[in-house]
Amino acid sequence: MSKFNLVINGSQFSVDVDPNTPVLWVLRDHLKLFGTKYGCGRGLCGACTIHLNGSPLRSCQLPISAVGKNVITTIEGLSKTGEHPFPPVFAAVANALYKAMGKRFYQQPFQSQIKA
């Protein structure tokens, strides 16, 4: 076991875990941040996506020892205004999944296409 000091969603956390523990399980099991989900366990589906210094990564494949001093943002930390971030995030994840299958699942409409 090793101690890791983390910055997640703008807050400081300290955990004592095995260095090979995936970030996903540190978030869910140790810090009780349940927004990041387990999907396929292989980094293919995107359910476990977090941002590390603004870049999306699959937390099921990222060992906690690789985080270092980088800043983690989870789905809980996406909205600073309290608005629910799920709709645009769902669209991005759904598009990534369907792109892998050669299809387009969801496309956000242009403002001109929205009927009031």
CATH topology of domain 2-77: Ubiquitin-like (UB roll) (3.10.20)
Sign of the dihedral defined by the CA atoms of residues 44, 48, 52, 56, in that order = positive
Integer Cα distance of 54 and 7 in angstroms: 13
Position 116 confidence tier, pLDDT thresholds 50, 70, 90: very low
**pLDDT digit string, tens, across residues 56-91:** 999 999 999 999 999 999 988 876 665 655 566 666
The tokens for 18 are 């095995």
User: What string of DSSP letters covers 70-104?
Assistant: PEEE-GGGS-SSS---HHHHHHHHHHHHHHHTT--
Half-sphere exposure of 63 (CA within 13 A, CB side): 8
